Amino acid sequence: MTSSLHRDAVRAFAYLVTGVLIGVPLLAALLVLAVTGVALTPLLAGLPLLVLLALSGVPVGILERRRLRLIDPAPVLPPGRATPHRTPVEPGLAAWARLRLTEPATWRELAYTVLFAVVLWPLDLLVLTFAVVFPGAVAGAPVQLALAGGDTRVAKLWLIDGYGPAAVCAVAGAVLLLLLLWPLDRYARARAALARLLLARREAERRLAEVTRSRARLVDAFEAERRRIERDLHDGAQQRLVALSMRLGLLRLDAPEELAAGLDAAHHEADRVLGELRDLIHGIHPQVLADYGLADAIADAADRSAVPVEVTAELPRFADAVESAAYFAVREALTNVGRHSGAALARVTGQYARGRLRVEVRDDGRGGADPARGTGLTGLADRLAVLGGTLAVTSPAGGPTVLSLEIPCLPR
């Protein structure tokens, strides 16, 4: 048991000493970043420094999770994970920084970093001083006396002028050092438990992240299935209906008079079914969205609207799920305008700035719309939420009705 206590005390001593060695330059670095960043902010040159300050907890968190192994070899994070952070879906430093700045783990690591630099390492130094440095200085009284060549003051407190009192001090210092091993180990473990609490990934966050990823995978699978159905209908049923319509048209030209009327009716019915099938295919996944992107698809939806629509949208291409969610939200909004608003004009504006796609649909109708009354927007709002987006509808009595959506995303 004594050897185990000594081993734990050595680990605690190493943990606290490395904390002091890291804490001193860390405090200096944080002060430089904070002061310089604030001073240069009016010139905008300080903003990158403040961002760097906000992200400083990320490398500190990695280092601290490794240092915790000195006290407890149990992993801080689940197996296979080196950090509590997600992997960016896009390459590049900007995408990495943008993702990190939106993660709760980043701000917990920053909080720990500030606490470490301002409070924890000075406390570590204080505990080391009383538990190791002071007893060690008392135990080293004979050595100090020998080096001084005469009397000496042990630990700056007691004047020792002979080897007899020095030997008593050595024994007292050794006993005190042994007595303080257990408190030293307890403090180091409490200190490590605090670090583990702040730097470990919360179980609720882990489950929420997994739910979010699973919902995103379901959206991607749903989009892939929509496109497969659209492709099968386009290349299969639609082509057969086109062939049938052409064959009926040719048969009608050479048919006897008593069959011509029936073939003509069948030909028109085939054309009608073909038109309905084309509308169905367009509703499942419009080809213009896949080929030309969201801006052209919105313009196409505006052309099909029962109410005149002005469109202002110059947008880059986005991921399929983003474009599809935004398009169907706009189309549902325009459908509601035509059916319920009594509007004479609608406007659709779309813009992309600072990593966010924003689309607004506004009409000059009577207002009073309630999304909760089955307008079809609730499901679209859930679909946007999977992508981290939001959908809002404001519709006071008398109008105007404004639907706005926002999705954080990157251009494709």
Tell me, yes or no, whether 228 and 270 share the same domain: yes
Tell which of 150, 182, 201 closes a domain. Answer: 201
Q: Is 389 left (phi over 0), alpha (psi -120 to 50) or beta?
A: beta
**Which of 253, 284, 315 is the last residue before a domain boundary?**
284
Residues 10 and 157 both lie in one domain: yes
* Whole-number Cα distances in Å, 59 to 62, 64, 121, 181, 243: 5, 9, 17, 31, 65
Q: Do 140 and 177 belong to one domain?
A: yes
| pLDDT over threshold 70, residue 233 | no
Q: For residue 156, what pLDDT band results from cuts at 50, 70 and 90?
A: low
Q: Which residues contact 124 (CB under 8 A, 6 or more apart)?
A: 16, 19, 20, 23, 191
Decide if 395 contacts 401 (C-beta within 8 A).
Answer: yes
Q: 218 and 186 share a domain?
A: no
Q: Give residue 332's pLDDT.
A: 84
Q: Given a cut of 80, is residue 43 above it in pLDDT?
A: no
Instruction: Encode pLDDT of 22-40 as tens digits.
Output: 999 999 999 999 998 888 8
> Which residues span the domain enclosing 378?
288-408
Mean pLDDT value of segment 207-211? 57
Do 184 and 12 meet the contact criterion of CB atoms below 8 Å apart?
A: yes
Amino acid (1-letter code) at residue 335: T
**Residue 252: pLDDT band with limits 50, 70, 90:** low
**Range 190-218 burial, b when 16+ CB lie within 10 A, else e:** ebbeebbebbbbeeeeeeebeeeeeeeee
Same domain, 96 and 126: yes
Regarding whether 13 and 80 lie in a shared domain, the answer is yes
To the nearest 10°, report the CA torsion of 227, 230, 235, 240.
160
> Within this chain, do residues 256 and 382 fall inside the same structural domain, yes or no?
no
Residues 47 and 101 grouped into a single domain: yes
Percent of the chain with pLDDT over 70: 67
- Torsion angle in degrees (nearest 10) through CA of 21, 27, 32, 35: -170
Better-scored residue on pLDDT, 388 or 259? 388
Full DSSP string of 262-301: HHHHHHHHHHHHHHHHHHHHHHHS-HHHHHH-HHHHHHHH
**Per-residue pLDDT reduced to its tens digit, 115-125:** 999 999 999 99
Q: What pTM, to 2 d.p., does this model score? A: 0.54
Name which of 281, 262, 261, 269 is nearest 244 in CA terms.
Answer: 269
The β-bridge relationship of strands 356-363 and 346-353 is antiparallel
Cβ–Cβ < 8 Å for 309, 333? no
Claim to verify: residue 302 and residue 378 sit in the same structural domain? yes
Could you say which of 147, 179, 201 is where a domain stops? 201
pLDDT at 228: 64
**208 — pLDDT class (breaks 50, 70, 90):** low
Place 323 in a pLDDT band, splitting at 50, 70 and 90: confident
Element (H, E) at 363: strand 356-363
Number of domains making up the chain: 3
Kindly report the CATH number assigned to the domain that includes residue 367. 3.30.565.10
Residues 277 and 314 in one domain: no
> Mind listing the pLDDT tens digit for each residue in 349-380?
999 988 889 999 999 888 877 666 655 667 67
Give yes or no: residues 159 and 243 share one domain: no
186 and 46 in a common domain: yes
